[in-house]
C-alpha cells in the first residue's frame, strides 16, 4: 500500500492552473481555436506568438477570490524554429465552475 501512495505522489497531480495552461498550450500548438475558445477569451497563434514547448509556474497571485494572475517561465519556439525563454502573464477568472483565461501577455 505504501508503494502505491509513493507512486501516486511521484507522478504528481497538476494544479488547476497548470492543467488549464497545459491544455491551452496543447491546443495552441495546433491552433485548435475550438478548444482554445473553451479555455480562453484570447487565442495563441503559433505563427505570431510561437509554440510553448515547456513551462513552469513562477507565481500565482490569489489576492482576489474570482481572479488570479499566473506568471510562467516558458520555453517558446518561434515559427522560424529558434527558441527563447519568455515570461508570460495570464489573468484567469473563475467562470461556470472552472478557471478560464481572460487575457495573457
In angstroms, the CA 80 to CA 33 distance is 22
How confident is the prediction along the chain (105 residues), in pLDDT tens digits per residue?
Answer: 444 444 445 567 889 999 999 999 999 999 999 999 999 999 999 999 999 999 999 999 999 888 999 999 999 999 899 999 999 999 999 888 899 999 999
| CA neighbor of 50 nearest in space, from 85, 95, 22 | 85
Q: For residue 94, what is its C-alpha cell?
A: 473563475
Q: Which fold has domain 14-104?
A: Nuclear Transport Factor 2; Chain: A, (3.10.450)
Looking up cell 529558434 gives 82
State the pLDDT at residue 103.
97
Amino acid at each position: 500500500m505504501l508503494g502505491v501512495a509513493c507512486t501516486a505522489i511521484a507522478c504528481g497531480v497538476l494544479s488547476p492552473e497548470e492543467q488549464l495552461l497545459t491544455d491551452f498550450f496543447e491546443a495552441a500548438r495546433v491552433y485548435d481555436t475550438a478548444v482554445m475558445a473553451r479555455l480562453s477569451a484570447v487565442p495563441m497563434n503559433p505563427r505570431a506568438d510561437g509554440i510553448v514547448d515547456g513551462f513552469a509556474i513562477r507565481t500565482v497571485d490569489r489576492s482576489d477570490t474570482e481572479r488570479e494572475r499566473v506568471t510562467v517561465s516558458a520555453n517558446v519556439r518561434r515559427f522560424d524554429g529558434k527558441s527563447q525563454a519568455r515570461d508570460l502573464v495570464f489573468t484567469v477568472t473563475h467562470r461556470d465552475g472552472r478557471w478560464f483565461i481572460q487575457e495573457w501577455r
